[in-house]
Structure 1
Amino acid sequence: MNERDIDPKIYELYDQYCHSAMERREFLSRAATIAVVGGSGLAMAEALLPKYAAAQTISFTDPRIRATYELYDSPGGNGAEEMRGYLVRPAGDGPFPAVLVVHENRGLNPYIEDVARRAAIAGFLAFAPDGLWPLGGYPGNDDDGKVMQRSLDRDKLMVDLLNGANFLKDHELSNGRLGATGFCFGGGVVNWLAVKMGADLAAGVPFYGRAPEDAGVAKIKAAMLIQYAEDDPRVNAGKDGYEAALKANGVDYEMHVYPGTRHGFHNNSTPRYDEAQAKIAWERTVAHFSSHLAS
């Protein structure tokens, strides 16, 4: 089932399910009661659930990269002073420009690991922290991951991700130039890091992420490439205010809205994926980092 086969009402319900405490059983049960055109609401809902095995684009054994799980110090976070993330280095000796990859609201799932591998293939030292590590790490499914992430102290989670950014920036294989990209919750984290880190973040690429508070935008020194889906009213409500603040503070930025797309259009594990627009967005991402992270 492709994106155009799914009724908009099921997409709306799926967005609620992804961004609330709604459980899978309730999501499917409610979908089954919705009258839709061209099929079954339940079948449409089931089609939206991620299929990670089929979505992998870069194998973890690809000879062009080397991927390992690494521990890093994280004082003040949710863990016992230590966190874990997924480090992917390109072939070669380095040093490499560095890109932090921040997950959605469910931990370090296979899609985010694949994005880290894509970044490494493009020549970047990529690191994707797992915010769920204090609870044992990503549990192998998004439903439990979502519940786990909601249970964490949000402020301490942000500290853990900030510590992950600093770990990557200072890594022996890094050239010291740090970029960050993230998706949904992770996109909001990238915007937050841009405010929090100032000149220590050279470039940011948030995908459909929550905008920072206007008062913090003046602290942004990173070159920002801000990516939005066209049909994403929850996130896009902050778009115009964010752009006005960026302009008012002279921040170096580009902002793109991808036509015909919904929230999550870069995630190729569900029918929300828009292959053509995701390709354009990723090519822009790589070009942006290549331009701003060179030594």
Structure 2
Amino acid sequence: MSDNTVKIPQQAFDWYDEYAHGDIDRRTFLTRISSLAVTGLAISTIAASLTPNYAKAEQVSFNDPDITASYLEFDSPQGHGKGRGYLAVPKELNEKTGTVLVVHENRGLNPYIKDVARRLAKSGYIAFAPDALFPLGGYPGNDDEGRKMQRSLDKGKVEQDFIAAARFLKIHAKSNGKLGIVGFCFGGYICNMLAGTLPHLVDAAVPFYGTPAKDEIAAKVKGPIMIQFAGLDKRVNSSWPEYKKILESNNANYVAHTYQGVNHGFHNDSTSRYDQEAAELAWQRTLAFFKDFLA
């Protein structure tokens, strides 16, 4: 487990997950957190520990000499008309390479997701991270506001934006024709959705703690797909038995890993849900998976 300076009770993580996914409002979340004050932890201490600190999430600097980062727009005629994303490319790219679509959580393109794109570029891939909030002006710099903004968007149009982004990235001038996808939480759902909606376009998908798409889409998932679960994530994990049955009935090429004793969001190194050991293992597996199928 991660060596947090503040020991947060598991109840608080569970309540935060409910809050972050819209099952309870902020007032209810803080009211529940206040019940933990008897443990000697202040409400503000617990809340601050659960709130992202994106300064912690920069593993690859935005001005790293080995990569080039920029923003690109793409057409999305079935979605919001136009989309925009963060592109990270290896600077010394002398030959074509695999591409990876990076899909954010339910709050827009925050600094952690942009860093994930840079990590992929450092590993030799062309990485593109669209911002679902672009039609509303983009990620606002605040996760709470970002969640509200994303909830206000038409889900079908958001999905179409990511479908358009996948098609856009697949034909990048430096692409070798292989497309991978990695996503977290909402982004994990988008990975599952794209794997079923574009089975002949997606060469490898890695959803982190994301729910499956509806059954008629899941029934078209053929893989390769690597599914990453957090052991303490009851909400997402409850969907796995049925999804597993569907994948097996599809004869899909899939593998699933569960990281015991960690919470939903364990890969996000900006909050106390982060678990370094599990995150590093999951990322090593992700890179190995992409190496197998995107070369």
TM bucket (normalised to shorter chain) is over 0.9
> Which residue in the other structure is 2:261 paired with?
260
Cα distance in 2, alignment partners of residues 110 and 26 from structure 1: 27
| Alpha-carbon separation, structure 1, partners of 2:269 and 2:27 | 23
Question: Structure 1 regions of 5+ residues with no counterpart?
Answer: none
**Residue in 2 that maps onto 1:107:** 108
Does the residue aligned with 2:164 lie in a helix, a strand or coil? Answer: helix
In structure 1, distance between residues paired with 2:186 and 2:5: 22
- Offset of residue 221 of structure 1: 3.0
User: Aligned letter for 2:15?
Assistant: L
Alignment partner, residue 68 of structure 1:
70
What's 1:134 paired with? 135
Of 31, 34, 37 in structure 2, the residue corresponding to residue 32 of structure 1 is: 34
Task: Report the secondary structure of 1:199's partner residue.
Answer: coil
Q: Which amino acid aligns with 2:99?
A: A
Q: In the TM superposition, what whole-angstrom CA distance separates every residue of 1:176-216 from its partner, at most 9, and x where no partner exists? A: 11010100000000000000001110100000000123443
Contact 1:217 1:249 in 2 (8 A): no
8 Å CA contact retained: 1:7, 1:37: no
State the TM-score, normalizing by the size of structure 2: 0.94
The two structures have a TM-score, normalised by structure 1, of: 0.94
- Is 2:92 aligned against 1:58? no
Q: Does 1:86 align with 2:86?
A: yes
Offset, 1:143: 0.8
CA distance in 2, matches of 1:193, 1:160: 11
Alignment of 1:218-257 (within 5 A): 218-257=219-258
Shift in Å, 1:111: 0.5
Secondary structure of the residue aligned to 1:210 is: coil
- The 5 A counterparts of 1:198-217 are 198-217=199-218
Q: Is the 8 A contact 1:201 1:221 kept in 2?
A: no
Q: Which amino acid aligns with 1:82?
A: K
Separation in 2 of the partners of 1:237 and 1:23? 23
2:195 — aligned with what? 194
Of stretches 279-288 and 205-214 in structure 1, the one that deviates more from structure 2 is: 205-214
Query: Match for residue 291 of structure 2?
Result: 290
Across the two proteins, how many residue pairs are aligned to each other? 292
Distance 1:127 1:39, change over 3 A: same
User: CA deviation digits over 1:33-86, x for unaligned, max 9?
Assistant: 4455352344212211000012211001001110000011111212xx211000
State the superposition RMSD in angstroms. 1.7
CA shift at 1:240, angstroms? 1.2
Q: CA deviation at 1:226?
A: 0.3
> How much identity, in percent, do the aligned residues show?
49
Q: Which amino acid aligns with 2:285?
A: R
- Structure 2 vs 1, CA of residues 36 and 87 (structure 1 numbering), >3 Å: closer, same or farther? farther
Question: Does the Cα contact within 8 Å between 2:83 and 2:161 map onto a contact in 1?
Answer: yes
Deviation at 1:154, TM superposition (A): 0.4
Structure 2 residues without counterparts, runs of 5 or longer: none
Within 5 Å, give how 1:96-175 maps onto structure 2.
96-175=97-176
